[in-house]
Structure 1
Amino acid sequence: MALIIKHGAYYEQHKKDNIMNIKKKSALVLSAATVMLGLYTGAAAQQIEKPLKKNTATTFAIVVDQETYNKAKQEINAYKSALEKQGLGTYIVSHQWTKPEEIKVVLQKLYSDKNRLEGAVLIGDIPIPMVMDAQRLTSAYKFDQARFGFRAAVPSDRFYDDFNLKLNFIKQDSLKAGNFYYSLAPESAPEIHPDIYTARIKAPAIKGKDKYELIRTYLSKVVAEKEQQNRLNHLMVYSGMGYASESQTAWASEQVALREQLPQLFRAGSSAKFVNSRMQGDLKQRLLTEVQREDLDLAIFHQHGESDVQVISGYPNVSFPQPSIENVRRYLRNKIQAANRKKQDVAETKKRFQATLGVPMAWMDDALTDSVVLADSLFEANGNIMMEDVDKIRSNVRMLILDNCYNGSFHKDDYMSGHYVFGSGKTIVAMANSINVLQDVWTTELIGLLQHGVRAGNWFKEQAYLETHLIGDPTFAFTAEGNTDYNELIVNKDGSDPVWKQLLKTGDADLQALALTKIFYAQGAASSSLLKDVYYSAADASTRMQAWKLLSTLNNADFKAVLKDALTDPYEYLRRRSANMAGDFGTDDLVPALVASGIEDWASKRVAYNSGNSMSFMNADLVIAQLQEYLKKPEFAGNTDIQRLIKRQEGTREKVLKEGKVMEDKKAVAKERAFDVNMLRTYTYHELVPQAIAIAADAAEDHKLRLAAVEALGWFPYSYQKDKIVALCDQLIADKNSTAQLREEAMRTKTYLLHFSAEKYQTVAKK
């Protein structure tokens, strides 16, 4: 899977160009949108109330629907006053919104003003953009759009905050009138880089609660919290069942990195608590107790989830015979109960498990006994945090990061993160995802900025994928450790300002990482040697990771050198990402280092997992030869893990050969060929690229299959076959016989592939 980078060089120039374009068009656009600053022009007009505090360094917008504003006007005005007291000039933009464009126009206009808009909050019933044709801008989403249509759309407020994204309107949902569907334009920037930050204050469907009452109560607690002086000095991190392969090395390595990023948490009077699913006891109850702590500032949940649940734990981690037997019996009962619910043959199900697992029939006899079914149901419930569990407590953790799937599904009437934020406790803001999310996302990127008073929104801008959202007040900030206003620097100082080179000299891991990011935005490819030097010289893991990440966008010789060495970096997360990235390249020169990673880094379960996957995408003969060389070494003689890898690689070689023949065979079953083409979106077998190119280029092939092939080839941004893919795209774009759909998909693929190249990021100074 290719790494998705959320920022690009040229960004500073793009930002300046964007502002100029907005200014040139603003009079026409605003006239069309009937926006009048500070007064009404009729019942249908938008109203923008200007800040009372003038000449602030940056500004902020409260965007609210008219009904919510009417019913929570006092609380919204109090929120505005609290923000201005903190030095943030605040607009209130109210209207009975009929489409997302009405809001975006206003935000762009305010962003182009002298006192630049830094962010906005969307309160109440605000139109929801649903984005199609943009799955490469998510962290992991690969829902088959051709098969499922609009069900595959991604709910995303990047429509409102990333002005470089070009999204073409498709339609308004006929059943859910608040949902509006858009397609990523073929020529759009193939990256996420918000110009401003946004967040949603949208009440979930809490039983017995009116949504306007929830919003009023929430805003009142936000205003109250802004009166407090609260440094970031208490943290809790949970790593759940199945997360990062339950790697203990990953769990420990994150603690080391967080100590470098947030050193004050490890001093007397502070606390940092790290919990994982392998610990014994009632984890659900203990975690619910943790988030109720009055002093807890930040909680991070790494786990699986759905829109209404956080998955906490599974079967107990045991080794003694009796509890192990009970785990097996519980597993069997679960399967039998499921078969019964589906009206399948229970007796046959039991016989199958008896035969395949060698278990006695007696272990399954009580599977459908009422008392046992109830006990199993309670056990299952105790392994998950449900929305109703959150409603029964007072969640006091001020900021919550839900690093799991779907907990931020604000497009639904009810969603998990909303229950924390709108509950009776002191929780102010949560970061969560509207769809599924990659396990290997760098959730703690630049997290150290929070200790310096950086607002949640300004931190979030470097976190945002298409699916990532803040729920709650994005202006929330912890009391700063020093006197420097980093919010003002982030918004108003571009990468050419001397302040960023000065910050590179600090001993602060994430201030250095932020400085690298800003310099990269300004210099592009010219920053390559700096990034490489910082990778090799930085003592802190997160600083090295930031250099690696920025270099990966350039995709040049400097990055290739760093990538190879990063496979043995002390930071587990960096090794993990490098192991994954090596497979995206697929080149022979990376095979020795990748094989070494898969064998020698055996204690790092997630790294070994990623290395094993990446080996599947490399030259199979070379990988097998390298593995066999290890078996010749005395210390590895007879190593069963290596033997298993060889068998796996042999199987992959056969699979790739077989699938390649199916793709080449026009007489093969259409579904099989389509399956193999779509498979390349997730399993980037570089050796199958020529077959996919042949399908895409052949006018005699089924049109849908050609489209699928072109789209699948867009998931190879680092491949040694990339030039061939780009040449195909040029051919399809130039071909007068290509359908408009085919040309557009070819343009999307080409734009994305070329985004990951040093040529794309030649220094802005040449302009």
Structure 2
Amino acid sequence: MRKFTFLALLGLCLWKPVPTAAQQLIKPERSDYQTSFAIVVDKDTYKAAKKELEAYKRVLEKRGLGAYLIYHNWDNPEQIKNSLQQLYGKDRLEGAVFVGNIPIPMIRDAQHLSSAFKMDQRINWQRSSVPSDRFYDDFDLQFDFIKQDSLNKQLYYYSLSAESPQFLQLDIYTARIKPTEGPQFIPRIKQYLQKVVQQADQKERLNTMMVYTGHGYHAESLNAWAAEQVALREQFPSMFTLQGNIAFLNFRMMKAMRDSYLSQIQRPDLDIAIYHGHGSDDTQLLNGYAYATAPHPSIENIKRYLRNKIQNVAESKGDVEAAKNRYHTWLDVPLSWMDNALVDSVIRADSLENAGADLHISDLETATPNAKFVMLDACDNGAFHHADYMAAHYAFSPGNTLVTLANSVGVLQDIWPNRLLGILQQGVRMGNWFKQVAYLETHLFGDPTFAFDTDNTTAAAQYNTALQNPHQQEELWKSLLSSADVDLQNMALQQLFLIQGDKQSAQLRDTYFSSPNMTVRLQCLQLLSSLDNADYVAVLKQAVHDPYELTQRLAVQMMGEKGNVDLIPALLEATFNYKHMERVASRIQNVLPFMPNKATEQALEQEIQKVGHLSNIVSWEEQLLKSQLKNEAKLLKDYGQINDSSRDKKERFFSIRTLRAYRYHEAIPYIITLILNENEDRDLRIHAIEALSWFPKSYAKQAIIEACQSLTGSNDLAIKKQAIKTLAILNCKGY
């Protein structure tokens, strides 16, 4: 409940004011507003787009917001953050938009606040830092300034302080209006602001949607694909009636889906477009190799694969003949299948086919995206620290798109991207939804105050206002628990959790076991995971069998995070029953090695007796036992000797870093021995202490806490700070 305390303190003691003589602040024209909003712009952009910015400011005021326009030659991110904090404390600031060249915080030592990013920070800083506006919109987070980038002066590197809260809870929402850099930068900003003004009076009801699933997403599981459709029917029931329309596209539907995808996003009636898939800063990966079962198409896929490999070798000036022989031996294919790999006409044809399988920036430059809101659930599509990036070509295009959500770095596939999305049909502002679901890497591009129209404008205004001071709206949230709208229920559960914390545990447990709605049950599981108590474990054992595939998948992952012996029977039962569910099965395969090995072997013998009806059960049992013995041997090899200083340091370092992604709970005692050894390599100790911070739900958590507590008195400042930070991560509950 740190935000409530923070807000109360602001009423007693305002933030220390910073010199604002050089900052120009244009105040709201109206005084009858519940909350305010800040348009933050650099001075050059303000001069070039003054007319458009002032028109946008008037639109915001028509929406009931007190709109501030602040422009300056910003020297660093702190100037902006201080200005926002002052407005938050003095004038109920609910959000901000950054227009033009606004300093970009590059966050380090905060990977636990991202969904997936775990890059080694010893490599290139631009690649190993997370561009994140959580610096600006989560005021309680504390950062230590490191340096400004020597090449790109817009980039400022910060480390998340050990004394900072170690979880996200946004005070305001933010977005960026930052088109592609170059001669069209200012014209596109002006064009976008004009578009917002032109569309401001249009009544846009949320009743059409398109969802695209690309190759490789969720292990290409049809169960996961189908489950999302059922969940969206809960969240958006009207879209499945004659008054709505929802289209589900899958990469399997055609050999090349690019034209179908472009046709959908250019539909003039489309409200929301969701893209699930892999991506980069300049690409959305739509298709892989064509699905084939007949011999000739299958052979053609293999030939194309081989040609691409040989072409890559030739391009890198490698040994082409050696590569051909290697693939000939490895795959047992004729050498003749690679004979034409370097023929010019074949190279051109392959290049065109490869390009046609994906969506590139060049494709969007000639398109007109019209979906009002586009969600890019992919890695790096929102890499706004680059001169050009995929998300910039949706909102800041000539089409009708107003807001895009995208990620500045990699994002985890096994998250809930559609969480609370249904509240948008209730007139909740885009930024207010975003504020509930953002990770370190998640960003909005465009106008975050945009909201879809609704019949009940009074309720919409009430929700938008209540989300600014949720602790003062407990009765409202309680009343929404009985709403027919599942995401209003979910929003209420989330806000009550922030207010009540542990006191809400029994209600969340009971709601999970009684609710007929799959998304409500998943919300209960997610919130209980922060409490990590007996109610959570009780729900977790059932959640692995929940009808909703995403709940099953996340429950498996959560079991691996805990590693408790009493979770093993439920996990093994899922192993036997859900082999047909590709993504769930792959998660189980990843997680089983995290569980105590001996206990898993014993439980396997007991559980195997319960599933005699399964075909080929004897072979399956042998396979699982063999896998467990292999895991046990690997654990002893990698961690049983981790304290042997004669081992290669790089090997030991790799084993330590592995724990950031793989929860080998039985490795914890070995790592604790290492961090407590004052004669051990200092660098290894620091990284090992950090690695232990990735075990906040482990059954061995208390042992980690006690070890780190003993290090908080260390004379070595780096070890002391990392121990303090690890303790903060292990002890935080997310409210």
* TM-score, normalization by structure 1: 0.93
**For residues 429 and 533 of structure 2, what CA distance do their matches in structure 1 show?**
34
Q: Deviations over 1:361-399 (max 9, x none)?
A: 111111111111111111110111000100011111110
- Mapping for residues 688-727 of structure 1, pairs under 5 Å: 688-727=667-706
1:14 aligns to 2:33 (yes or no): no
Taking the TM superposition and a 5 Å limit, the aligned residue runs for 1:525-674 are 525-629=502-606, 631-632=608-609, 633-636=611-614, 638-639=616-617, 640-674=619-653
- Structure 1 position 402 matched with structure 2 position 387: no
Specify which of 130, 149, 164 is matched with residue 173 of structure 1. 149
The match for 1:120 is 96
Match for residue 138 of structure 1 among 110, 114, 117: 114
Q: Does structure 2 conserve the Cα–Cα contact (< 8 Å) formed by 1:631 and 1:637?
A: no
Greater shift, 482-491 or 721-730, is seen at 482-491
The corresponding residue for 2:53 is 76
**Match of 1:184?**
160
Matches within 5 A, 1:105-504: 105-113=82-90, 115-148=91-124, 151-205=127-181, 209-483=183-457, 484=459, 485=461, 486-494=463-471, 497-504=474-481
Residue 19 of structure 2: aligned partner: 34
Q: Which residue of 2 aligns with 1:764?
A: none
Aligned CA-pair RMSD: 1.5
* Partner Cα distance (2:586, 2:115) in 1: 18
- Distance in structure 2 (CA, Å) of the matches to 1:147 and 1:363: 39
Equivalents in 1 of 2:472, 2:306: separation in Å?
59
Letter in 2 for 1:125: N
- 1:637: Cα distance to partner? 5.2
Tell me how far apart the structure 2 counterparts of residues 150 and 226 of structure 1 sit (CA, whole Å).
37
Say whether the 8 Å CA contact 1:172–1:179 is kept in structure 2: yes
Contact 1:336/1:350 (<8 A) preserved:
yes
SS of equivalent residue, structure 2 residue 680: coil
C-alpha displacement at 1:642, in angstroms?
A: 4.9
Report how many residues are paired.
730
Report SS of the residue matched to 1:310. Answer: strand
**Most deviating of 616-625 and 157-166:** 616-625
Q: Distance in 2 between matches of 1:607 and 1:417?
A: 30
Q: 1:266 to 1:15 in 2, by over 3 A?
A: farther
**Mapped partners of 1:19, 1:79: distance in 2:** 29
State the match for 1:752 in structure 2. 729
Listed as ranges, the gaps of 5+ residues in structure 2 are: none
CA contact (8 A) 2:4 2:471 kept: no
Please name the residue that 2:13 is paired with: 24
Question: Relative CO higher for 1 or 2, CA cutoff 8 Å, sep ≥ 6?
Answer: 1
Q: Which amino acid aligns with 1:665?
A: D
Inter-partner Cα distance in structure 1 for 2:295 and 2:428: 52
Aligned to 1:506, which of 466, 483, 486? 483
| Equivalent in the alignment of 2:75 | 98
Shift of 1:664: 2.4
Aligned match of 1:5: none
Q: What is the CA deviation profile of residues 582-623 of structure 1, one whole-angstrom value per residue up to 9, with x for unaligned ones?
A: 011111100010111122012321111111111110122332
Once the two structures are TM-superposed, the CA of residue 12 in structure 1 deviates from its matched residue by 4.8
Secondary structure at the aligned position of 1:416 is classed as: coil
Against the structure 1 CA distance between its residues 248 and 642, is the aligned structure 2 distance closer, same or farther, given a 3 Å change threshold? farther
- Give the secondary-structure state (helix, strand or coil) at the position aligned to 1:462: helix
What is the aligned-residue identity percentage?
44
Q: 1:305 to 1:643 in 2, by over 3 A?
A: farther
SS of corresponding position for 1:282: coil
Instruction: For structure 1, list consecutive stretches of 5 or more residues without a partner in the other structure.
Output: 1-9, 36-40, 762-767
- Alpha-carbon distance in 2 for matches of 1:479, 1:666: 65
Residues 177 and 446 of structure 2 are in contact (CA less than 8 Å); yes or no, is this contact kept in structure 1?
A: yes
8 Å CA contact retained: 1:12, 1:495: no
Tell me, in whole angstroms, the C-alpha distance in 2 between the residues paired with 1:749 and 1:61.
Answer: 35
Structure 1 contact 15–195 (Cα < 8 Å) conserved: no
1:627 shift after superposition: 3.6
Q: Could you list the per-position Cα deviations for residues 482-508 of structure 1 after superposition, in whole angstroms to 9, with x for gaps in the alignment?
A: 231221121234265311111111111
For residue 550 of structure 1, report the CA deviation from its aligned partner.
1.0
Aligned with 1:614: secondary structure? Answer: helix
Say yes or no: does 1:55 pair with 2:20: no
1:765 alignment partner in structure 2: none
Q: 1:12, 1:521 within 8 Å by CA — same for their partners in 2?
A: no
SS of structure 2 residue aligned to 1:616: helix
Alpha-carbon deviation of 1:261? 0.7
Deviation at 1:150, TM superposition (A): 5.9
Q: Confirm or deny: 8 A CA contact 1:612 1:645 kept in the other structure.
A: no
C-alpha distance in 2 between matches for 1:649 and 1:121: 52
**CA displacement at 1:281 relative to structure 2:** 4.1
Q: Secondary structure at the match of 1:748?
A: helix
Distance 2:470 2:130 in 1: 32
Q: What whole-Å deviation, never above 9, does each CA across 1:454-510 have from its counterpart, x for those lacking one? A: 111000011111110001111111112423122112123426531111111111101
Aligned-partner Cα distance in 1 for 2:70–2:280: 33
Question: CA 1:235–1:51 in structure 2 vs 1: closer, same or farther (change >3 Å)?
Answer: same
Structure 1 residues 18, 346: closer, same or farther in 2, change over 3 A? farther
Contact kept, 8 Å, 1:129 with 1:182, in 2: the verdict is yes
1:625 to partner: Cα distance: 3.7
Contact 1:194/1:461 (CA < 8 Å) preserved in 2? yes
Residues 327, 656 of structure 1: CA spacing in aligned structure 2 closer, same or farther, 3 A cutoff? same
Stretch of structure 1 that moved more, 567-576 or 600-609: 600-609
